[in-house]
Structure 1
């Protein structure tokens, strides 16, 4: 594929240039999508994508049921290039050392942990889980001692299957493999449907753990533009599917990390249909799905009747990372994943499965999720307001629909990698945006974990972080 911009990017830049020259004045409403499509001779879908890019770049704001309006404060153009180049080309990944360097401060007891994405343990029923663990060790000592079935304990798989009872395409007990966390599930999926050197489509930005897995497994990545509200660009994704460029796609549909969006059911349906039409497996990472504030956000897997979606999840973000308990529903690729599971880790420990199956069966997990979602939404809302108050003009942040992270764009292309060290010197651990992409993108973004309540210390540190951003040149 050439280095030329996609059509929607060309249209976006033409509109941006028109705005910069005063063709549309601040506060003015742009013509309708249909009018723009007709004027430029492009499809409505292309026009919508171009407006989303203009919105992301800070030129316009889209108001519900009203249209797109030129922002009063326009972004400053980049020093060397006013055009946003985003070639959709396979690239090698070599981020391991950089990502590990940014992760290391998480173990420091002196730093405020705004880097690693985790809800505060105070939001979790830790003591209740520990009581269940002690009870299981008394009642089921032999089961906990022995190897469990390679697929996982029947009781665990039954409870996971029941959770899908409302899906259009339910997940049966025999369709599930219990894994050691979500990362093992994704690694097994990648090994099942790709080989070294193959190309995998990913979101941009995407979870850095996805990039680490691709790096270790020697897969290449092709990055697909991803909108903070709508998710991965299905138009661009279909182009690489159609060209036979990729062997798999790995993404999140619910409370995506780091953007926090939830794809609509209509877009999930289109994704599933594309996977089936082009026979490209979709590896769905739904680890934050249970934290969606509105609740009941179904995964793309719920609409998968052809078995092309490999569904990966765990309880690490919604309950307890130390359980290391995840699962995968691999559809038509189930047998291959089971083979790979048996030669890698053989099975998953029985103890956490016994505990978690009882916790779900009792109804305690469903009750916990109601409380967790409410707490996270409140914390994120308060943190969002504080960031907007404390950070300099030009900072951009959009409310997520789930999870506990904020994706923050720094003003005037300030580099979050420089901010990382300055913040760490002040006892604040953040994650630079550059590690959420393979290419040279998102360096002026950072991800903040706001899974803890806004204590006076947290408030002080967030204000200090805003001051550091203001001081950057």
Structure 2
């Protein structure tokens, strides 16, 4: 936007002349009962456009220093007047989201402004501050242009990418018709059989006929919840809980009931039992082995206790075992192995151990398997058969156990290195406990550090962070962050961690 663009053409009405159209009470477009309340604020078009551009900047559509579309180009694409676009850019400039360079245009500011905290959503029950914050905050954690300390994504070097790519190419040469076939749930029998054989090491009892192949573990968990709950039900989750669980519960209209852990041993089953006495719990959703984000693992005795409680109270349990194969000591026993009633649904994914890009997960739904398979068919039909068969061939070829041992050793080494660096560069008062497996580190900063603000300010440093409030439906853990230790060691990563530690130190203040 050049300097002259800040003057409104006399022939064009000002932006305030273009409020968002609102039907009048009783119009054909909107019934009288839905009319705008007296005194409601009319949102102008330029304010809506400014808000849309802010969101795109937060999501990384436009990054620091990048030029935004010209006034005329945005006017044409959005079908808005030039003066409306000018006013939107003027608002962004006033709020320090953009800078204007004379005769050049409008650019994203090198450092984003502080973002005002959203007010809690009234009447949200178990979801208050979390509802308003989780979307933008989780998007920032995964922005591709940032150093991914906030994303639960290990480096591609951990995975057999070349071998899988070769396997897919060979499979398509032998069976080119695979790309022309539909593949319906529950999925290819070959992969379901390999899954059942693989989890024998978990002490689980999985019948291939009950296994449903899904789009990662997230869809598997969604299907389980849809099979055993209805909107308004309460689902017990561990605390802290993976924010993907919480977002799924929110999407399905369910209430999250956090149940704290005891020491580093995962969910406290006695606390869960007390909660079940006080309110009706429709399901329990948790990771019993290598929880995300804490890295905790329940002892075998507690897993057995969980299943006994579920059977006694008739509460379905959704057990996420996505990180189970990454337990450093190889102790990946599933609670489902103690279940004889079919109430425990075992979910997992191959995205953390074999192939993130293939997005293949699975679920043994126990007594709910038939309903889960039906829900999968009506929701998304099935998964690509070529990927299922390629993974089945890889699992059948052997060597998985040996490769997992190497992966666990490499991940443990990176977790230890990250922990040492965090202890060195973060402010005094920072604490953490080493996880039982995986590649995530749950870090507690001094209490005065607001990690949501830390995340927002870290964006301007090119660093991604996952703030603690993402992992609680009540906005707890505001001084915590989840760190991804799967980031390759590089000068850029080391510099990013150093700058993040310095920023946390500034926010903590003098000690």
TM-score > 0.5 by shorter chain? yes
- The alignment status of 1:385 with 2:420, answered yes or no, reads yes
* Structure 1 residue 429 displacement after superposition: 0.6
* Structure 1 residues 74-89: aligned runs within 5 Å: none
Q: Mind listing any 5+ residue stretches in structure 2 that lack a counterpart?
A: 1-123
Structure showing greater Rg: 2
Question: Counterparts of 1:116 and 1:193 in 2: how far apart (Å)?
Answer: 30
Aligned with 1:418 (options 449, 453, 456): 453
Equivalence for 2:258: 223
Aligned with 2:227 (options 150, 172, 192): 192
Deviations 1:20-41 (A, max 9, x none): xxxxxxxxxxxxxxxxxxxxxx
Change (3 A) 1:169 1:390: closer
Equivalence for 1:248: 283
* Structure 1 residue 94 displacement after superposition: 7.0
Equivalence for 2:217: 182
- The alignment status of 1:446 with 2:481, answered yes or no, reads yes
Asked if the contact 1:286–1:312 (Cα under 8 Å) also holds between the matched residues in 2, the reply is yes
Q: Secondary structure at the match of 2:199?
A: coil
Question: Counterparts of 2:377 and 2:148 in 1: how far apart (Å)?
Answer: 36
Aligned with 2:180 (options 136, 140, 145): 145
Q: Secondary structure at the match of 2:187?
A: coil
Aligned-residue RMSD, C-alpha: 1.8
- The alignment status of 1:269 with 2:307, answered yes or no, reads no
Aligned with 1:376 (options 411, 426, 430): 411
* Structure 1 residue 450 displacement after superposition: 1.1
* Structure 1 residues 48-59: aligned runs within 5 Å: none
Question: Counterparts of 1:191 and 1:278 in 2: how far apart (Å)?
Answer: 20
- The alignment status of 1:283 with 2:280, answered yes or no, reads no
* Structure 1 residue 163 displacement after superposition: 1.5
Q: Secondary structure at the match of 1:413?
A: coil
Change (3 A) 1:171 1:204: same
Task: Count matched residues.
Answer: 385
Question: Counterparts of 1:167 and 1:112 in 2: how far apart (Å)?
Answer: 34
Question: Counterparts of 1:435 and 1:171 in 2: how far apart (Å)?
Answer: 33
Q: Secondary structure at the match of 1:164?
A: helix
Question: Counterparts of 2:274 and 2:154 in 1: how far apart (Å)?
Answer: 37
Question: Counterparts of 1:158 and 1:149 in 2: how far apart (Å)?
Answer: 16
Asked if the contact 1:92–1:219 (Cα under 8 Å) also holds between the matched residues in 2, the reply is no
Aligned with 1:115 (options 134, 150, 154): 150
Asked if the contact 2:186–2:212 (Cα under 8 Å) also holds between the matched residues in 1, the reply is yes
* Structure 1 residues 29-40: aligned runs within 5 Å: none
Deviations 1:416-448 (A, max 9, x none): 011112211111110100010011310010111
Q: Secondary structure at the match of 2:422?
A: helix
Aligned with 1:308 (options 343, 346, 354): 343
Question: Counterparts of 1:109 and 1:314 in 2: how far apart (Å)?
Answer: 22
Deviations 1:120-163 (A, max 9, x none): 11221111110011011112222442122421111101101112
Question: Counterparts of 2:201 and 2:400 in 1: how far apart (Å)?
Answer: 17
* Structure 1 residues 265-414: aligned runs within 5 Å: 265-414=300-449
Question: Counterparts of 1:168 and 1:373 in 2: how far apart (Å)?
Answer: 19
Question: Counterparts of 2:130 and 2:267 in 1: how far apart (Å)?
Answer: 22
Change (3 A) 1:228 1:423: farther
Equivalence for 1:471: 506
Aligned with 1:127 (options 144, 162, 168): 162
* Structure 1 residues 83-102: aligned runs within 5 Å: 91-92=126-127, 95=130, 98-102=133-137
Asked if the contact 2:138–2:470 (Cα under 8 Å) also holds between the matched residues in 1, the reply is no
Q: Mind listing any 5+ residue stretches in structure 1 that lack a counterpart?
A: 1-88
Aligned with 1:259 (options 269, 294, 297): 294
Change (3 A) 1:93 1:195: farther
Question: Counterparts of 2:179 and 2:307 in 1: how far apart (Å)?
Answer: 38
* Structure 1 residue 221 displacement after superposition: 1.1
* Structure 1 residue 296 displacement after superposition: 3.9
